[in-house]
């Protein structure tokens, strides 16, 4: 029985490990819908975001409702709200 366990251990140890992947980070500009541009580094070619620190209500202190695709109007129409 001791021989069987040694053979199975040696078979599992002989597996080769793959080399870790290396990524190349390049400089790019992140653009926001509001027009804000930020410099950063990433493996992607370009990044576009909907909300950034220049237009997010938490950072600006403004209170406004973001309407995506007229969802508020659809809700009001569905429930006959004014």
What pLDDT digit, counting tens, does each position of 45-76 carry?
889 988 888 887 676 777 655 556 677 788 88
- Tens of pLDDT, residues 1-36: 555 555 555 555 556 778 778 888 899 999 998 888
pLDDT value, residue 31: 92
Q: Which residues contact 50 (CB under 8 A, 6 or more apart)?
A: 32, 33
Give the distance, in angstroms, between the CA of residue 30 and the centroid of all CA atoms in the same chain.
13
DSSP-derived 3-state class of residue 78: helix
67: Cβ–Cβ under 8 A, 6 or more apart, which residues? Answer: 73
Would you give the distance in Å from CA 33 to the centre of its chain?
17
DSSP 28: E
Q: What are the structural domains of the chain?
A: 24-63 (4.10.80.400)
């Amino acid at each position: 029985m001791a021989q069987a366990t040694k053979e199975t251990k040696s078979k599992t140890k002989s597996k080769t490990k793959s080399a870790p992947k290396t990524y190349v980070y390049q400089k790019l500009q992140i653009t926001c819908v509001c027009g804000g541009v930020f410099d950063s580094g990433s493996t992607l070619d370009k990044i576009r975001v909907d909300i950034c620190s220049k237009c997010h209500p938490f950072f600006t202190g403004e209170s406004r409702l973001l309407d995506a695709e007229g969802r508020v109007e659809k809700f009001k129409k569905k429930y006959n709200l004014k």
